[in-house]
Structure 1
Amino acid sequence: MELRHIRYFMAVAEERNVTRAAEKLGIGQPPLSQQIHALEDELGVRLFRRTGHGVVLTEAGEAFATDAKRLLDNAQQAITNAKSAGRGEIGQLNIGFTGSAAFNPVVAILIRKFRQSYPAVSLTLVEGNTAQLLSYLDDGRLDVAFVRLGNQSPAGVAFHHIAVEPMKLVLPTTHPLAKKRKIPLNALAQDSFVLLPREASPTLHDVIIGACRDAGFTPLMGQQAPQLSSVVNLVAAEFGVSLVPASVCQIRVEGVVYADVLGGNISIRLALASRKDARTAKVANFLAIANDPTMNLSGLVASD
């Protein structure tokens, strides 16, 4: 039994007339009658009873029509689902982000825009450090990931520029320079720096160390923080000072102040990573939103 046989049957059942059903289907009346007889022979029952004005369903035909309609509906839904999946309009998208990237408003804006554009796509959000996220991309557990982009360029991964974010100083309010709006970085050469471990955030760690060395000193390594939000809390507890992406300034913790770096142009890049060999329609749709020039993402980085 083929789907076309079921379509033929339903056309006759709806029209209650073989000639009109044939016209609706765009085939001849004799071939349609032959197909209906072949279907009845296959089922071993009569589906139609002839009347003076056409045909009516038999009891067996009534029962078959109920399931036949459901089969056709399911087949149409399967076609619709396949086309929607091919356009990236349904399914699941797994998105990763680093702890520092999560504070950037661009991340929330892009995810919100994608959800508005593709409401039938389910999103799974995964937080991790850069190494973890790139590993998850490689083994297929993630489709895209927001990462702080350094000099690393793993094979098979494409990076899509999202934004360049300035770095800000964070100091305890008891620090002698806490009332300054702009502070030269080398003025903190004798302070301990609260940092994330390099294995947790290599790009952020290297940017801070590199900036200090460019300013003429090697930073004193103080208490390590398990995550970026903890950096601010440890600074508030007077464990030292630090440099953080400007978007972190939205963390308002009593006991800290944020300041610009005087005479320095220290920044960190935010990128969207995806696998080069797995450009599904869902991923392509997400990247299209991220690369849309009308989004004007460059001006959305928070500042103090």
Structure 2
Amino acid sequence: MELRHIRYFMAVAEERNVTRAAEKLGIGQPPLSQQIHALEDELGVRLFRRTGHGVVLTEAGEAFVIDAKRVLDDARQAIENAQSAGRGEMGQLNIGFTGSAAFNPVVVNLIRKFRQSYPAVSLTLAEGNTAQLLAYLDDGRLDVAFVRLGNQSPAGVAFHHIAVEPMKLVLPTTHPLAKKRNVPLIALAQDPFVLLPREVSPTLNDVILGACRDAGFAPVIGQQAPQLSSVVNLVAAEFGVSLVPASVCQIRVEGVVYADIPGENISIRLALASRKDATTAKIANFLAIANESSLSPVAE
């Protein structure tokens, strides 16, 4: 039994007239009658009873029409689902982000816009450091990832610039310089710095150590933190001081203050990474929304 036979049957059942059904289907009346007869022969029952004004459904036809309608509805839905998936309007998108990227309003806005534009696409979010996220991107566990861009330039990965964030100092409120809005980095040369391990966040680590080096000192390495939010908590506990991306200042923890660094242009880049060979519509749609937000490719 072919799907077109069911469509022919339903057209005749709805019109109650073979000639009108043929016109509706855009085929001749004789071929349509032959197809209906073939369907009845295949089922071994009569579906229609002929009358002087057209046809009426038999009991078998009345029973068949219920399931036939469901089959056509299911087929129509299957087609719509396939087309929708092909356009990237449904399915799943796997997004990765570094701990600090999650605080950036650009990241939040992009994800919100995508959800509003494609509500049938479910999102899975995974947090990790940049090295982990790029590895997950490479093996297909992630579709896109928000990363802190340093010197990494793995083959097969495209980066789109999102933002350059200034770095801020985070100090315990008990620090002698805590009441100052601007604190020269050299003034902290004797303070221990709370850092993420380099293997966890090489870019952030390099930015902080490089800034201290440019200021004329090698920082005292203090307590290491497992994640960026823990850096702020450890500073609050007076383990030392640190530098964090400006968006992290949204973390309001009792016992810390944030300060600017005068005369310094210390910043860290945030980028959206995707595989160059990624061809799924969902990824293309996400990148399109990102591009609408004036993102630009990062030069290799």
TM-score normalised to the size of structure 1? 0.94
Distance 2:259 2:291 in 1: 31
Q: Secondary structure at the match of 2:183?
A: strand
> 1:144-163 alignment to 2 at 5 Å?
144-163=144-163
Q: CA deviation at 1:279?
A: 2.8
Letter of the structure 2 residue corresponding to residue 48 of structure 1: F
Aligned residue number for residue 78 of structure 2:
78
Distance in 1 between residues matched to 2:279 and 2:204, nearest whole Å: 28
Local SS of the residue matching 1:148: strand
In 1: Cα distance, 2:126 partner to 2:55 partner: 61
Q: Residue deviations 1:89-120, cap 9 Å, x none?
A: 11111111111111112221111111111111
Rounded Cα–Cα distance in structure 2 between residues aligned with 1:14 and 1:116: 39
CA deviation digits over 1:103-145, x for unaligned, max 9?
A: 1122211111111111111111111111221121122111111
Structure 2 Cα separation of the partners of residues 294 and 263 of structure 1: 28
2:275 corresponding residue in structure 1: 275
In the alignment, which residue of structure 1 is the partner of 2:238? Answer: 238
What are the ranges of 5 or more consecutive residues in structure 2 without an aligned counterpart? 296-300
After superposition, give the CA deviation of every residue in 1:159-197 in whole Å (9 maximum; x if it has no partner): 111111100011112222222211221221111110000
> Are positions 1:102 and 2:67 aligned together?
no
Q: Give the root-mean-square deviation of aligned CA atoms.
A: 1.2
Q: Secondary structure at the match of 1:247?
A: helix
**Which residue in the other structure is 2:212 paired with?**
212
Measured after TM superposition, the shift of residue 294 of structure 1 is 6.7
Task: Tell me what 2:287 maps to.
Answer: 287
Please give the alpha-carbon distance, in whole angstroms, between the structure 1 residues aligned to 2:255 and 2:266: 24
1:197 aligns with 2:204: no
How do 1:1-304 residues align onto structure 2 when only pairs under 5 Å count? 1-293=1-293
How many residue pairs are counted as aligned between the two chains?
295
Identical amino acids, percent of aligned pairs: 89
Structure 1 gaps, min length 5 = 296-304
TM-score, normalization by structure 2: 0.95
Note the alpha carbon deviations across 1:181-220, whole angstroms, 9 max, x for none: 1122122111111000011111111111111111111111
AA partner of residue 101 (structure 1): A
Output the CA distance in 1 between the equivalents of 2:225 and 2:294.
37
Return the offset for 1:46. Answer: 1.1
Residues in 2 aligned to 1:254 and 1:44: alpha-carbon distance in whole angstroms: 81
Structure 1 CA distance, aligned partners of 2:4 and 2:266?
67
The verdict on how the C-alpha distance between 1:249 and 1:287 changes in structure 2, with shifts beyond 3 A counting, is same
CA distance in 2, matches of 1:88, 1:293: 19
What one-letter code is carried by the residue in structure 1 that aligns with 2:177? Answer: L
Letter in 2 for 1:251: I
Q: CA deviation at 1:293?
A: 3.7
- Give 4+ residue runs of structure 1 displaced > 4 Å after superposition: none
- Separation (CA, whole Å) in 1 of partners of 2:294 and 2:236: 39
